Homo-oligomer: A and B are copies of this chain.
Amino acid sequence: MPNSHTLHQTLSLDDIRSVSPAMADYTEKAIVGDLWKRPMLTARDRCVITLSALIARNQTISMPHYVKLALDNSVLPAEISEIITHLAFYCGWPNAYFAVEIIKDIFTERGIGAERLPAAVPELLPLDEPSEFRRAAAVEANFGEISAGVVHYTGELLFKNLWLRPDLAPRDRSLVTVSALIATGQVAQITYHLGRAMDNGLTREQASEALTQLAFYCGWPCVFSAMPVVKDVFASRQN
């Protein structure tokens, strides 16, 4: 199977050094030796953020390493499954397919079978009806006449279904969403989702450090374009 083999290959530090000794050095000292050890985020959260960014940007070359790192840092297979499902909606189906292609073989290698994955149609978390009513009414008023289809599926599939699936905590689902938005330059959508993330328990310090993590994995410009919006969200909140 050349395909799986191809996609699963990861560069060694020597490969990197053979093109850029500097990059190998930054990887060892700045990323592995410093960034990942900063205490403002757990290694588990860093894995969730990084994996979300990789899936959002189709970075297949780095996925095998970070999927394994996630599993080694207490991200459950069921959570990885939900992260992919979630990002199918937030980055598009094909992005999720690229991730499936890689992760299916890692799950096989580690003996992770269906019994450790979320049910297709599980019992959902309870819906916060007043909050969803307000969200739906605002979107309907704004875009109901622009795309009734989008408005329909946003309610039925996303907020009354996907977000209520129990195998990824709402706070983590928000962290995945915000990471993907920053990673793909979707600045206009950050305000709503960062607010929701903080309502779901993401702290200011964690959001702040997520930006630091994403700078290395998505590039400085993504983060600098996001920071003014993050600043406005922080300024608008008590917590």
Contact = CB atoms under 8 A, between A and B. Distances in A.
14 contacts: A16-B100, A18-B107, A19-B100, A20-B84, A21-B81, A22-B165, A58-B58, A58-B59, A93-B216, A149-B212, A150-B215, A180-B221, A188-B225, A189-B225
Given A20-B118, A59-B94, 5 more contacts: A3-B6, A19-B104, A21-B117, A147-B209, A147-B212
Nearest to A231: B146
Contacts of A189: 221, 224-225
Which secondary structure dominates where chain A touches chain B?
A: helix
Given A30-B157, A94-B57, A223 B150 contact: yes
Contacts of A157: 26, 30
B38 A149 contact: yes
Interface in A142-162: 142-143, 145-150, 153-154, 157-158
Contacts of A31: 93
Interface residues of A, number: 101
B23 A98 contact: no
